[in-house]
Amino acid sequence: MTTEVRTIAFVLYPGLTPLDLVGPLQVLASLTQLGLPYRTITVSATTNPLPTDLPLNLSATHTYAEAPAPYALLVPGGGGPTFRAMADEELLDYLRTTSPQTELTLSVCTGSLLLAAAGLLEGRNATTHWACRHLLPRFGATPVAERWVTDGRFITAAGVAAGIDAALHVVQLLAGPEVARGVQTGIEYDPQPPLGGIDWSTVDFEQGEQWSKAMIQEGLSNHPALLAKLLD
């Protein structure tokens, strides 16, 4: 008897925030390293190096055309370039055609806004980076202030580092708590933020909304319809 290997595809696009991608990818690639029947791939319009919001270029293993139909799909987020990607029809088409065939569609940070822009989160509960939660209703989604939010096949994680927590949750779903503990120990994810967790009572949501406005204007200056949808 052969076990079918399930593909988990991580979407790359120019300007993304690498930690959104690499946190969950390091977690989920551990399934393969542990000998479980999963393989991770990275997918983009090209396999040439893509810029990110760090001094680091990333190259995917597969183009959209070459990538096998995945069991699970993950969309990372970012700042201005992620808003720009909301007008990237090739990316949105890939999400629209691929996601409905997956068992799990995941996003990290503003990656959920790309799922939303593809029309996939209408009527769904979802989350995103705290500074962008107010944008989800513009695509018919209901924002939920949780570390990750499950609705049907969708699991959307909060900002950047939340992708690590959400990915460990997915490992637990797919392979149980013992494997999830093993993966967590392997990547030594025993968080000790030097100043403790975030004290949300001190977070300036008004400033966050201003930051998101600047990102939208930077990313979508050439797309008046989307600009209006997000800012008016």
With respect to a second copy, which residue has the nearer C-beta, 140 or 176?
176
Q: Is 40 in the site for a second copy (CB under 8 A)?
A: yes
Measured at the alpha carbon of residue 231, what is the angle toward residues 209 and 155, in degrees to the nearest 5?
Answer: 65
Q: Is 169 in the site for a second copy (CB under 8 A)?
A: yes
- Residue 36 Cβ, how far from a second copy at the closest point, in Å? 16
Q: Centre a 10 Å sphere on the Cβ of residue 6 and count the other Cβ atoms it contains.
A: 17
Q: Which residues within the stretch 119-158 sit at the binding site for a second copy (CB under 8 A)?
A: 129-130, 147, 158
Computed over its alpha carbons, how large is the radius of gyration of the chain?
A: 17
In contact, 91 and 85? CB cutoff 8 Å: yes
Q: Is 161 in the site for a second copy (CB under 8 A)?
A: yes
Of 63, 142, 150, 184, the residue at the interface with a second copy (CB under 8 A) is 184
- State how far Cα 86 lies from the chain centre: 13
Q: Is 36 in the site for a second copy (CB under 8 A)?
A: no
Task: Give the interface size with a second copy as a residue count (CB under 8 A).
Answer: 58
Which one from 109, 121, 126, 170 is the annotated catalytic residue?
A: 109
With respect to a second copy, which residue has the nearer C-beta, 26 or 82?
26
Beta-carbon contacts of residue 106 (< 8 Å; ≥ 6 apart): 24, 72, 73, 74, 75, 154, 155, 156, 157, 166, 167, 170
The closest alpha carbon to 105, from 176, 157, 60, 46, belongs to 157
Catalytic annotation present for 132: no
What letter represents residue 99's amino acid? S
Stretch that binds a second copy, among 80-88, 98-106, 137-145, 173-181 (CB under 8 A): 173-181
Q: Is 194 in the site for a second copy (CB under 8 A)?
A: yes
- 43 forms beta bridges with 11, 62
- 38 forms beta bridges with 6
In the complex, the residues that contact a second copy under the rule CB under 8 A are 10, 17-19, 21-23, 25-26, 29, 39-42, 49, 53-61, 109, 129-130, 147, 158-162, 164-165, 168-169, 172, 177, 180-181, 184-195, 197-198, 200, 202-203
